[in-house]
Amino acid sequence: MLYGRYEHTVDSKNRVFVPAKYKDSLGCSFKLTYNDFNKCILVYSDREWEKYEEKISALPTLQFENFIREIYSNTVDVQIDSQGRIVIPQFLKDKVDIQKNVLFMGVGTHIEIWAQEVFEEKRKTVDMNEMKNLMIQMGF
């Protein structure tokens, strides 16, 4: 289970340190993809990516062809270098407005990488009363 929030900085070569807490779960190689709904990068271990691919392959191709194309064309394999960093491709940085400061956030089965400024703006739109009501409904 991936959880926690870690702040890091992307350097001029698009490299960023992967939080040590996540390295064991991710392994040395994993997937980065783009989430247009939340404007963040999704990080999947190879094992979790296989589960995600199973869901995608079960979709009716004709009905979901644009979705399928968007997912696969924006997914890349990355490897952790000897310093514990990955390179975030420029096209992914551009899609989620990453400039320098990023947040790594564990969200259960995967990790999200957010531009810190984008996430702070997103948080302003969260209705805490709605979240409280959902938690009550779920028995928390």
Q: What's the whole-number mean pLDDT along residues 45-63? A: 93
CATH code, domain with 34: 3.40.1550.20
| Number of independent structural domains in the chain | 1
**Domain enclosing residue 31, as ranges:** 5-137
Could you tell me the CA-to-CA distances from 91 to 37, 94, 135 in Å, in that order? Answer: 17, 5, 37
Q: How confident is the model at residue 128 (pLDDT cuts 50, 70, 90)?
A: confident
Contact 10, 58 (CB under 8 A): no
- Note the pLDDT tens digit of each residue in 71-104: 999 999 999 999 999 999 999 999 999 999 999 9
Residue 129 above 90 pLDDT?
Answer: no
Looking at the DSSP bridge assignments, the partners of residue 32 are: 43, 76
The HSE-up count of residue 28 (CA atoms within 13 Å, CB side) is 3
Looking at the DSSP bridge assignments, the partners of residue 29 are: 79
pTM of the shown model:
0.89
